[in-house]
C-alpha cells in the first residue's frame, strides 16, 4: 500500500486524511466534513483498499456512492491506482452507459463498485449486484446527493445493505437533512471536521462585480484578457451555458461546455480537454460540475449566482485546491441582493466589492425568499 500511495503522488497526509484514515483502518464508521480539494477521496479509498486486500475472491465487498458520473469515474481511477499492487480493482456503475456492458464487467468480480444511486438500484432490482455482500460503504459528497433529489434512492439502498457494516460518510456541508441521513447510516462514528463547514479554502480570493444582465458577457470578455491559466465559468441554465460557450468560441477562446443535456462522451471530452489544458475555459452548470476534480483551476467565475449559498461555497472550492491559491469572481445584478446577503451570512463576512461595487441595499419591494426566486429562474 505504501508503494501505491507514493506512486499516486501522495507525499504527506492532508488534515482530513490524517484523521480519517486511522479510524477507517480500525473499521470505525466515519462522519467527515471538509471542502472539496482537501483529499477526501484518498481518506476513504486508502482504508477501503487496505481492509479489502487479501480477501478471497467473491462478490464486491466495497461500495462507493457518488452523486455524478464524473465524480464516480475520478474515484474509480484513484481506487485503481491504490489497489493495483494488491490486484484489487473497481468498476464504475453509472447511468448513461450500456447496462449489459456493466453486467459483463461485474462478472469479473471486482472488489469495489463505484456507483451513482440510480444505476445501482437498476442493478439491484435486476439481481446483478449482491447488496448483502458489501461490508464497507462510502457516501461521498452526501450533501450533493440530497440536493440532487437522491434521498429516496439512498433510503432504498441503505435498507438493502447489511446491518453490520462499516460506513464512511463525507460531505462539504452538514444541513439538517444530512444529519437525519447520518443518524440512520453511521453508528457511533468518528467525527472528522477540517475547517468550518461551508468555509472556502484559505487560498481563494473572492470578489463581487456589480453589473447588469446585458453587461455580463462584455465584463467576462474583459476579465479573460488578463493572463489566467484555466477558468471555470458557472451559469444557472443549460441554454445560457451553450450560448456563452458559442460567444467565447467566436472571439477566439478555447472553450468547452458541460451540462446535463450533453452526451456522456461530450461531457468526458470536455472535462478531459479542460484537465489536459487543451481548452482554457470550461462553462458549466452546477449539476454537471459537481464532482469536477481538476488540480489547477486558477479562476472560478460565477456568471450567474447559484441557487443556494452552499452551492456558492462548492463552486469556488473548485479553485485553490490542496493549499493552492485561486480567484473567485461573481457577477452581481440588482436582482441578486438577497442572494449575496444569504452567501455573506453563511460565510460570516462580506465578500469584497471591486471597483466601488456597493454593498447590497434592501430592495424597495417586499423581501422575498431567495431560494423561491432562484428556483423560478433556474434551468429554463
Please choose, from the candidates 59, 67, 54, the residue with its C-alpha nearest in 3D space to the C-alpha of residue 138: 67
**Same topology for domains 2-193 and 204-377, yes or no?**
yes
Strands (E), 27-140: 30-33, 62-65, 90-93, 112-115, 136-139
Task: Please count the other Cβ atoms lying within 10 Å of the Cβ belonging to residue 357.
Answer: 15
- Residue 378: the pLDDT is 40
Q: What is the dihedral of CA 146, 152, 157, 161, to 10 degrees?
A: 100
pLDDT at 19: 95
Question: What is the pLDDT at residue 196?
Answer: 63
Cell 472556502 sits on residue: 200
pLDDT at 148: 84
Asked whether 93 and 115 are in contact (CB, 8 A), the reply is yes
The answer to whether 136 and 165 are in contact (CB under 8 A) is yes
The predicted model gives 98-124 an average pLDDT of: 96
Residues paired with residue 171 on neighbouring β-strands, in sequence order: 33
Q: Which residue has the cell 489536459?
A: 276
Superfamily grouping for domain 2-193:
P-loop containing nucleotide triphosphate hydrolases (3.40.50.300)
Burial letters 220-244, b for 16+ CB under 10 A, else e:
beebbeeeeebbbbbbbebebbbeb
Mean pLDDT on 329-357: 87
Euclidean distance between CA atoms 101 and 226, whole angstroms: 46
- What's residue 57's pLDDT? 82
Query: CA separation (Å) from 373 to 9, 77, 177, 242, 347?
Result: 45, 39, 22, 23, 21
pLDDT for 46-64, tens place per residue?
Answer: 999 999 997 888 899 999 9
Contacts of residue 12, defined as CB under 8 A and 6 or more positions apart, other chains included, come to: none
Per-residue pLDDT, 265:
84
Averaged pLDDT, 66-92: 91
Which three three-digit cell numbers place residue 147?
440536493
Q: Label residue 198 left, alpha or beta by phi (over 0 means left) and psi (-120 to 50 means alpha).
A: left
Report how far residue 19's alpha carbon sits from residue 72's, in angstroms, rounded to the nearest whole number: 23
Q: Are 34 and 193 in contact, with CB atoms under 8 Å apart?
A: yes
The predicted-structure confidence for 9-60, as pLDDT tens digits, reads as follows 677 888 999 999 999 999 999 999 887 778 899 999 999 999 999 788 889 9
Distance, in Å, from the CA atom of 147 to the CA atom of 323, rounded to the nearest integer, reads 27
pLDDT at 290: 64
Mean pLDDT of the residues in the chain: 86
| pLDDT score at 198 | 59
- Classify domain 204-377 at the CATH topology level: Rossmann fold (3.40.50)
Q: Where are the domains of the chain?
A: 2-193, 204-377
Mean pLDDT of 301-316: 88
pLDDT at 190: 96
Residue pLDDT, tens place only, 189-244 = 999 988 665 566 677 899 999 999 999 999 999 999 988 889 999 999 999 999 99
DSSP state letter for 168: E
pLDDT grade, residue 96 (50/70/90)?
confident
Is 202 in a helix, a strand, or coil? coil
Does this model's pTM top 0.85? My answer is no
Amino acid at each position: 500500500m505504501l508503494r501505491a500511495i507514493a506512486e499516486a503522488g501522495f507525499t504527506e497526509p492532508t488534515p482530513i486524511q490524517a484523521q480519517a484514515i486511522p479510524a477507517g483502518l480500525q473499521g470505525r464508521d466515519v462522519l467527515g466534513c471538509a471542502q472539496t480539494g482537501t483529499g477526501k477521496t484518498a481518506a476513504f479509498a486508502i482504508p477501503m483498499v487496505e481492509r479489502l486486500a487479501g480477501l478471497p475472491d467473491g462478490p464486491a465487498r466495497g461500495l462507493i456512492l457518488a452523486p455524478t458520473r464524473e465524480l464516480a469515474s475520478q474515484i474509480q481511477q484513484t481506487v485503481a491506482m491504490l489497489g493495483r499492487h494488491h490486484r484489487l480493482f473497481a468498476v464504475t456503475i453509472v447511468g448513461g452507459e450500456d447496462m449489459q456492458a456493466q453486467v459483463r464487467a461485474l462478472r469479473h468480480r471486482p472488489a469495489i463498485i463505484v456507483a451513482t444511486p440510480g444505476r445501482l438500484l437498476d442493478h439491484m432490482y435486476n439481481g446483478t449486484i449482491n447488496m448483502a455482500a458489501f461490508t464497507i460503504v462510502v457516501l461521498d459528497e452526501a450533501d450533493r446527493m440530497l440536493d440532487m433529489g437522491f434521498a429516496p434512492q439512498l433510503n432504498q439502498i441503505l435498507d438493502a445493505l447489511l446491518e453490520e457494516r462499516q460506513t464512511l460518510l463525507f460531505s462539504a456541508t452538514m444541513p439538517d437533512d444530512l444529519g437525519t441521513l447520518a443518524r440512520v447510516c453511521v453508528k457511533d462514528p468518528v467525527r472528522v471536521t477540517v475547517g468550518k463547514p461551508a468555509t472556502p479554502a484559505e487560498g481563494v480570493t473572492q470578489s463581487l462585480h456589480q453589473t447588469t444582465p446585458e453587461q455580463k458577457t462584455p465584463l467576462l470578455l474583459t476579465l479573460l484578457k488578463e493572463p489566467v491559466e484555466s477558468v471555470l465559468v458557472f451559469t444557472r441554465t443549460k441554454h445560457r451555458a451553450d450560448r456563452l460557450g458559442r460567444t467565447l468560441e467566436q472571439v477566439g477562446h478555447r472553450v468547452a461546455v458541460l451540462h446535463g443535456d450533453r452526451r456522456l462522451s461530450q461531457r468526458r471530452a470536455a472535462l478531459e480537454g479542460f484537465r489536459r489544458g487543451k481548452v482554457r475555459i470550461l462553462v458549466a452548470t452546477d449539476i454537471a460540475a459537481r464532482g469536477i476534480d481538476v488540480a489547477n483551476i486558477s479562476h472560478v467565475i460565477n456568471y450567474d449566482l447559484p441557487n443556494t449559498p452552499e452551492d456558492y461555497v462548492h463552486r469556488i472550492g473548485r479553485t485553490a485546491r490542496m493549499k493552492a491559491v485561486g480567484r473567485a469572481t461573481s457577477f452581481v445584478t440588482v436582482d441578486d441582493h438577497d442572494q449575496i446577503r444569504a452567501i455573506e451570512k453563511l460565510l460570516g463576512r462580506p465578500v469584497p466589492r471591486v471597483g466601488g461595487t456597493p454593498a447590497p441595499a434592501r430592495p424597495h419591494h417586499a423581501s422575498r425568499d431567495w431560494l423561491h426566486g432562484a428556483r423560478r429562474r433556474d434551468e429554463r
